Amino acid sequence: MAFMTTLPGGYRATDIPQSRHAELIAVDTWAFPSSVSDDKLLELPMSIGWDRARGVETDDGELVACHGSYPYREFPVPGARTAVSGLTWVGVHPGHRRRGLLNAMISDHFARSLDRGEAVSALFAAEAAIYGRFGYGLASTSLHLKLPRGAQLRDVAGARDLRVRVERLDPDRHGALMQAVHGRIDRPGWVTRTTPGQLASWVADPEVFRDGTESLRIVIVGDDADDATARGYALFRRKNDWKDEGPRGSVLVREAVAPDAATARALWGVLLDLDLMGSVEVGLLALDDPLWHLLVDPRAARPRISDNLWVRLLDVPTALAERRYAAPVDLVLEVTDTRLQANTGRWHLVGGPDDATVTAATREPDLVVDVRELGSAYLGGVSLESLAAAGLVTEVTPGAVRRAAVAFGWPVAPVCSWIW
């Protein structure tokens, strides 16, 4: 597949095979500076598959830019699952910036994703201002908390009956447990690590990355001590800190997974009461995560909101037909898309909780919307009415925005619990 946007003279597109692993790491550390040597980074598990690693090299063969993607075949969207191309490892050598390399790589990513039947792309943005111009919309936000040790939680029936274990993380033993528990969560955006490389990379725990913290630990909540009955887990580290007034260490929660209230209460009851600690920091929680509702004093948690997943619809009719809708919807959307012209036009969406169809339309539209705003609304966490209030969606038929906002919304807030 050729680049849809022409590379400037002196550059060419290339696959990045495993034999160029060191060159890929070199480009990545130019784009994202690291205190860790390239040799140490080369020892870590590779998260992306070499069949999806791409880049740009100069005519003399120097690799100067890279990108890759993850094959999420069962990505959770409202009421369904669909194939999503998870864009990642995007970087350009600083000596080759401002020459259109990123623009060309994004077009390459779009074309290859469409060829694989992936109607949607999603990513985490290192810089939030970059990806909107490529049609990505902010589709989910995450909650970040810094709680004092001993923060009081409301009681939940059944929590005291659960068995809680605290252990050193053993990837060989705990990997399957984590995959199984994580995969039981039914939440838009909540994609489970899908390849051995992703899981290995997630649980890799080299000392050079610990920043003075201990090795990874895991809290496991279940009906008994059998891993097969595990209901929830959390990965965390502790970091010692001693003040004149006594120990004030911190607990850094990397991921917390609890599919029900009793599990959540048992899990956080342990994490918030570890000896010698003064605070517990946790990020990448959904805005409706049970922890927020269990807190007796949510102000003390010092909440902060951050962008989470950015979503781009590559094939608008397919993407809209593959999710479900919270209420019956029958609307014509006039979509604009400056990068993928096949999406531009009028699309008749008919759907509801059980199915959806999207066909080309000729009648007047009910709404006019850019593909970026459709991406924002796609996971059900951003209201089309709020986007209209910001002047980003145009209502043609009176009442159409309200009907669309209700249908596109979803009762469970979207989030991804880990950064890929």
Distance CA 66, CA 43 (A): 19
Query: Tell me, what's the pLDDT at 145?
Result: 98
- Which three-class secondary structure state does DSSP give residue 222? strand
Residues of the chain with pLDDT under 70: 1-5
Query: Tell me, what's the pLDDT at 6?
Result: 82
Query: Tell me, what's the pLDDT at 225?
Result: 85
Contact 353/378 with Cβ under 8 angstroms? Answer: no
Could you give all domains of the chain from N- to C-terminal order, each with its CATH number?
11-118 (3.40.630.30), 143-306 (3.40.630.30), 316-408 (3.30.1050.10)
pTM: 0.96
Q: Which of 319, 76, 304 is nearest to 191 (CA)?
A: 76
pLDDT tens string 377-420: 999 999 999 999 999 999 999 999 999 999 999 999 999 999 99
Query: Tell me, what's the pLDDT at 5?
Result: 66
Contact 320/80 with Cβ under 8 angstroms? Answer: no
DSSP-assigned beta bridge partners for residue 330: 350
Output phi, psi for 84, to 5 deg. -130, 140
